[in-house]
Amino acid sequence: MAPEPMTSSLVGNSFGGALSLALAIRAAQRVRRLVLMGAAGVEFELTPALDAVWGYQPSFENMRTMMDLFAYDRSLVNDELAELRYRASIRPGFQESFSAMFPAPRQRSIEALASPESEIAKLPHQTLVIHGREDRVIPMATSLKLAELIPNAQLHVFGKCGHWTQIEHSARFARLVNDFLDEAA
C-alpha cells in the first residue's frame, strides 16, 4: 500500500501566489491550505507599477524607485534597504534570469501566469486571500476575483498598505496567517 502524499500549506506572494494557485490546481491532494497575498493568477491589465518592477534595470536609483512602488508607508523604504536589495540584484546571473522571465510585452506574462477560472472555482482548499488596499503593483481586483471564485475563500484587506502586507503590517499579518493555518481542517 502506497503511503498517502504529504500535504503542505502554501503561502504565495505576487508571482509566488500565481505559482501556489497553479500547484493547488494541479496537485490538490498535496495542498492543505492556501494563503494568497497580493497574488497574480487571474488575468488583469498590466499596471504601470508591475511593468516597472518587471522591467527593472539595475541601479541604486531604480531599486529605490521600485521599492517605493511596493510600499504605502514610504518610511519603510530607506537607502540602506535599497542598497542591500540593489546589491542582491547585481549578483552574477540575476539580472539575466530576471529579465528573461518577463520580457516585453509584459501583458502576455500576466496571461501566462493566469490559471483558468473554471479550475480555480474547483479548488476545495480553505484559502485566505490577502491584499493591501493601496497596492499599485497588483490590483486589488485580482484578490476580489480570487475570493469570488474559490468556494472556501475568505478575504482580508489591509488599509494603508501597498504590495508589502507581510512587511507593512507584519505583526497583524503574522497573527492572521498563523491563526488561519492553525485552524483544524
> Looking at the annotation, which residues are catalytic?
14, 135, 163
Give CA–CA dist 40/26, Å, rounded: 17
Ranges of H-type helices in 10-161? 15-26, 48-54, 60-70, 79-89, 94-101, 107-113, 117-120, 140-149
Question: Which residues, 6+ apart, have CB-to-CB distance to 184 below 8 Å?
Answer: none
Cβ–Cβ < 8 Å for 127, 152? yes
Q: What are phi and psi of 145, to 5 degrees?
A: -65, -45
Phi/psi zone of residue 84: left (φ > 0), alpha (ψ -120 to 50 degrees), beta? alpha
